[in-house]
Structure 1
Amino acid sequence: MGHLTFRIGDHIISHDDPRLETLLASVHGTKQRPLCLCRDPGVEMYVARINGRHVIKRMPNTGADHAPTCDAYEPSAELSGLGPLIGSAIQENIQDGVTTLRFDFALSKGRGRPTGTSSPRRESDSVRTNGNKLTLRGSLHYLWEQAGFHRWSPAMAGKRSWHVIHKFLLQAAEDKAVKGVPLADVLYVPEPFSRERMEDIAQRRMARLSQISMGESHAQRLLLLIGEVKEIARSRCGHKLVVKHLPDFPITMDDGLHNRLRKRFAGEFALWDAVDNAHLVVIGTFGVGPTGVASLDAAALMVVNENWLPFEHLYEQALIDRLTQSGRSFLKGLRYSLSDDQPLASVVLLDTQPLPIALYIVQPEAGEDYDAALDSLIAESRLEAWVWRAGGEAMPEIPPAD
């Protein structure tokens, strides 16, 4: 977190003050709570120890208690797909600072079963609401949000690249665990590729992947990949996924998985094809066989714009473009495991007073059930609502910044 000021005991200290680590260490493990001073008299935080360093973290379910201008602010989780997952699929322990995640996809497979034939319940087949576990797409949305890539302000323009994506995704995984295993141990985010460092990068990759190579156990471990798609192409025996920053390491997939991926994420492929500056982000599980060949086991896709902000359709892209071009600050709502026919706030403006404003887009094909669900969501929210019925009307005037 940045741009924060805290009260720790009798001390008032900024997030970038070199004395902060010492102060955090002095209260770690005690009942004393640092206060974020974005509001008076302060919002309680807690201290966690991660990889040998002390960090200050937001208390669970308090994002909306912070000032909208504070980096710790988050709107109510019910405005996105995050709400149903808190406390079940996502369990945060303030005692040790570790967040436990429950996945609905496998991170291992039986030794006798070929990679790519894992389960009929894969993310590539469907996305469904499941408050007990995270789908692949939900996991990608969660890590994207934890890394801060759903957040935008004018100061961020031109500052996001794969180097930044790689760094902050790995940081987001540091305090997460799955089935008692650190998420960082199973997450693979390719480092930025450089032709001059190609051999060194390949050696580091081989060392990383050796952890999941086929051993003598009855189950093979799978890694969780997040990368940018360069292409999905025909191969001699099926198809292959080529990830940017992994140009010399294609990942194979069988025809069945490829066909399901194309069908389930037809909209994402269409957007990626239509929007010149869009990136296609893949999350998937893959294993490495005895020959060293990597095979994709399950996958999901997400389209992001040139600023790495996710968008679901061209109406949302138009809204995000208008906001960024106007110098606005906002949060992008993420769907997680919600089905496409369930409403969520597309964007939450952070630069309006006295409260943020939630922006909703109703697509042309939405029916009466969608309208009723949207009315209920708006009625339960603390935030003022702006609604654009896309296709039937021009984009309404966006509430001005204060």
Structure 2
Amino acid sequence: MPAMNKPVIAGIVAGVLLAGFAVLSPITGLNFDVEAQSTGTTKKVTLIADEVDVQVAPDNALHPGGVMYRAMVFNGTIPGPVISVDQGDTIEFTLINEGEVIHSIDFHAGHGPNDAVGANASATGSTVRSGESVTWTWKPPFAGVFFYHCGADGLNGVWEHIANGMYGGIVVHPPNEQPAKEFYVVFGEIYSNNVEGVFTQANGTGSFDVAQFLTGNPDIVMTNGMAHRYVPALGAIAKIDINPNATIFQVKPGELTRWYIVNAGPNDGIAFHFISGMIDVRDGSIKNRYGTQLKNDETWWIPPGSGSVIEATFPQEGVYVGVDHAMNDVVKGAAFAVLATPDATDDDHPPGTMVPPRGSDRVTSPTTFEETRPAAEQAEEFEPPTGEATTETTNATDTGNQTGTGNETDTAGNETSSAAGNDTNTNSTG
């Protein structure tokens, strides 16, 4: 009998294993189809594309006077709002372009060209000229957190639109998700022509620097649209004030927290780590639940254009810090503070970071990130909303309010609208 080579043997073994799984699946309950059944619920989502000036670094020793930047945005902020749906929901999505250049959308949660970028089944399917809009319906099939971003003009310039801040995250909750306090955090890089380095004042309002982009040297790494947005200071003895107007995340000692960490890139990965903490990572999915990649580990790599579901409990009272463990990125802004305290409540999320839980009628956070003005001015003027403001988007030229992600819910064909009969959308004015 002639000897068989290793590739042939490997092929036979692989065939036997696959056949075995096919036979065993009905018996053992193994099922590799992770797409969920329809919930019968349709959620309406609206994003408005525009170009605005935003503050991407606070006034501190690293960046005296702060850093202003000409950004491309969804709904007025970097990042765009979290979009939160349940596995099996249908999304009726509308993109309105109030900017001066062509914009579009790419949903990494989509499975097939129609889902990811629109009804034309191509990478240019969602391309929207200034003053126009596009609407289509799709269903995200898999549980997890996924990146969404502008695809520019049929991918022409997509690198610049992402680098300019036009991105966000979509959360798809599985049916049997365990309740937890949930947070939305997006990391993103800025390549600006007005920043000459740390400890130097920026020169006016910056814009995209393609040379720095191509050499992979970002000036700033933002957390939810600003360097060190959630870091008041560094140091215990030799203390450095970083952001006097910073808000921080608060959790109760021992409670389960779930962090939807999105890495917008556009170039670098995130080595995500909680200082003094351990993490469980649920990346990818298994039928009707998140997949589990590792438990009780220290650091998890999130590549650009991706997101991971990170779960953690903080056992003792005190301060923990979430970081990109690449230390140059920490200096550039990639860190946030978490305070474990018995005084934490279920609804004390920093603005824009709350993720509507599974089963919620909401699609996005009830508040958004602060308007990007000088930090002292924000601290003086910002007041948390006392109620839930709503507005209706009628066309692409109505700019009276920055309109947030809509959250009209249609369950089994029955629409739930505001008292006036209008689609209910979340106001995104902070």
> TM-score, length-normalised on structure 1?
0.30
TM-score scaled to structure 2, two decimals?
0.28
**Bigger fraction of residues in strand:** 2
